[in-house]
Amino acid sequence: AFLNGELEEEIYMDQPDGYVLEGQEGMVCKLLKSLYGRKQAPKQWHEKFDTTLTSAGFVVNEADKCVYYRYGGGEGVILCL
């Protein structure tokens, strides 16, 4: 669920085991997308999800930020994460 989340800041990581280039052991990798297991991944995923839902007309419940709702035409949708 957290693969390929959009990043708003620059994040660098050590070269993964098995991918360290000989003679360039001190080099780091710049992440272009968030990775599962990185501490920023859930935050990035939720921000992208929130942007997508609010652009589709959903409203965030103030009591629980993981609940979204949309009403219209006599019908409603409640979405809980």
Residue 20 DSSP class: P
Domain membership of residue 46 (yes or no) is yes
pLDDT at res. 11: 78
The Cα 54–Cα 2 span in angstroms is 19
3-7, 41-45, 66-70, 72-76: which range is least confident on average? 3-7
Task: Tell me the whole-structure pTM to 2 decimals.
Answer: 0.54
- pLDDT tens per residue across span 2-24: 455 566 678 788 888 888 888 88
Q: What is the domain range of residue 73?
A: 12-80
Domain membership of residue 1 (yes or no) is no
Q: Where are the beta strands (DSSP E) in 1-81?
A: 12-14, 28-30, 59-60, 67-72, 75-80
pLDDT at res. 1: 42
- Provide the number of structural domains found in the chain: 1
pLDDT at res. 76: 94
Domain membership of residue 7 (yes or no) is no
- Per cent of the chain over pLDDT 70 is 79
pLDDT at res. 16: 81
